[in-house]
Structures are given as structure tokens and as C-alpha cells.
């Protein structure tokens, strides 16, 4: 209970700040879901925190706690959210080691690892990744629309369809969908506990292509809606609904690939 109260006192204000800022954006809207999933994983693994567990006073545990506290203090005072939120991993891990010993940390290694997905990427990294992704998405969308007979032209990441001009924004690059799908895919694999390592690796490898393809479809749909029904229709409800719908489609495709792989590996085991 003191550990829980201490974590709430430290990171409660951080969560409040995130809920008022970046978690309200489309790019980081998955943050609360990832945090909720992480808390559920810790709750499911609470059996590792047995009352008879012996804490460890190993210097490495104290070093981890001091490092985490320093990262939190520096990130909080300097408004560096990546350090402030990322510090929760060494703080929680070191606290568990001190209270319950290293075996408890080992048993809860997946919830600790999953907390990585709650940490936003730094701005320079996002800019470096989204630029090429937006260029590829807009280029492929232009090629497909032109093949369908639509009057389309592209300048950089700007698409002109008929009399309308659309800018492929960062949210349409596919980076955030890749991160969200990666988190959900890893969470899904952890729950399913597939026995084959090849199965798990193949499923992880298809996450990025699925997210990329889903965002291409999203841009094409927005172009078609704008071309046929006007700019107001393309930028209204359809704009937000297209992102949610295609993310759901990407999830269904991910689960479908998992089902196919399960069938293939089940037949191999049977033979």
C-alpha cells in the first residue's frame, strides 16, 4: 500500500497533465488504453508479490530506484515528458526488487516491459519517421487513385483531387497506428501464449505493413469522400470515423493472420 500511494503521488499529476495535453491528440490518443492494460497486467501478476517474498537490498536495486527518481525529477522540472513518464519503469522495477526480491521482478517482467508503450517518442524522432512515411503514403494513394481514373496530382505530401487539395498530416503517416498495433499485438500474444516462436515473430512482422496499408486506405477514402461530397464532408465526421474504422480493420486483419498461422502450425504439429 505505501508503494501504491507513493506511485500515485508521483505519477498522478503526470497522468493528469497527459490527459489534458497529448492524450487528447489523435497521435497519442492510445496512451490511456496502454496505461490501463499495463495496470491490468500488474493486477493479474499480483500472485508474484507473495507475502513471504524476501526483499533485496542489492546495490543494483538501490541504483535503479535512485536513477528512476532522478529521471522523474529532471523530467518533471524541465517538462520532458519522455523522461518523466519513462522513469516509472526503473522506479517500479527497483521498488519491487527492494520489497519482494528479484524473482518478483522476473515474474512481472512483461508488465514492466509493456510500460514502454506509454512513453511518447521525442519530437525529433517522430519528425524523422513521419516525413518518409507521409511521402510514401501520399505517393501510393496518388498512384492508386490515378489508376482508378480520378484527376489527381501530388506535390510532396499534398494531394490535389479535382478542385480540392488535401494535406497528408502526421496522423495519416501510419507511425502511430504502427505503435498502437504493436502494443496491442504484443499484448495479444502475451494473452494467447502461442507455443511457436516463429508464429509470434511472423505475427509481429505483419503489424507494420498492416498499419501502413490501413493508412493508405484511409487517405484514399478521405480523397474520394472529398471529391464526391465536398471538403466539408471530408473534414467532418468522416475524417475521424475513417481512422477508427481502419484501425478496427487492421486489428481484424491482425487476428485473421494469427488464425491462419495457428492453423498452419497446428497442422505441422499434427503431422
Residues acting as catalytic residues: 172, 218
Give the strands of the sheet with 164-167, arranged side by side: 152-155, 158-161, 164-167
Closest listed residue to residue 118, CA positions, set 11, 248, 211, 9: 11
Grid look-up 500511494 returns: 5
Torsion angles phi and psi, residue 153, rounded to 5 = -145, 155
- Nearest-angstrom CA–CA distance, 34 and 51: 28
Grid look-up 515528458 returns: 81
Grid look-up 490501463 returns: 36
* Neighbour tally for 224: CB within 10 Å: 16
- Nearest-angstrom CA–CA distance, 14 and 257: 37
- Nearest-angstrom CA–CA distance, 226 and 204: 34
CA 198 to chain centre: 22
Contact 46, 191 (CB under 8 A): no
Length of the chain: 271
Amino acid at each position: 500500500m505505501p508503494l501504491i500511494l507513493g506511485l500515485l503521488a508521483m505519477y498522478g499529476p503526470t497522468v493528469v497533465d497527459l490527459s489534458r495535453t497529448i492524450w487528447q491528440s489523435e497521435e497519442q490518443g492510445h496512451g490511456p488504453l496502454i496505461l490501463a492494460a499495463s495496470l491490468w497486467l500488474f493486477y493479474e501478476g499480483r500472485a508474484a508479490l507473495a507475502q513471504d517474498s524476501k526483499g533485496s537490498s542489492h546495490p543494483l536495486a538501490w541504483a535503479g530506484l535512485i536513477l528512476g527518481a532522478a529521471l522523474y525529477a529532471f523530467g518533471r522540472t524541465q517538462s520532458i515528458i519522455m523522461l518523466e513518464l519513462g522513469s516509472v519503469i526503473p522506479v517500479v522495477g527497483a521498488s519491487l526488487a527492494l520489497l519482494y526480491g528479484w524473482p518478483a521482478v522476473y515474474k512481472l517482467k512483461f508488465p514492466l516491459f509493456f510500460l514502454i508503450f506509454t512513453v511518447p517518442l521525442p519530437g525529433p524522432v517522430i519528425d524523422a519517421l513521419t516525413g518518409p512515411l507521409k511521402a510514401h503514403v501520399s505517393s501510393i494513394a496518388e498512384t492508386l487513385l490515378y489508376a482508378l481514373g480520378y484527376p489527381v496530382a501530388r506535390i510532396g505530401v499534398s494531394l490535389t483531387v479535382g478542385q480540392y487539395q488535401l494535406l497528408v498530416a502526421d496522423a495519416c503517416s501510419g507511425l502511430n497506428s504502427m505503435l498502437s498495433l504493436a502494443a496491442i499485438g504484443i499484448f495479444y500474444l502475451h494473452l494467447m501464449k502461442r507455443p511457436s516462436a516463429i508464429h509470434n515473430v511472423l505475427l509481429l512482422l505483419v503489424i507494420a505493413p498492416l498499419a501502413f496499408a490501413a493508412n493508405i486506405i484511409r487517405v484514399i477514402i478521405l480523397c474520394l469522400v472529398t471529391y464526391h461530397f465536398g471538403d466539408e464532408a471530408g473534414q467532418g465526421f468522416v475524417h475521424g470515423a475513417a481512422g477508427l474504422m481502419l484501425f478496427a480493420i487492421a486489428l481484424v486483419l491482425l487476428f485473421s493472420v494469427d488464425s491462419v498461422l495457428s492453423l498452419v502450425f497446428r497442422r505441422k504439429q499434427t503431422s
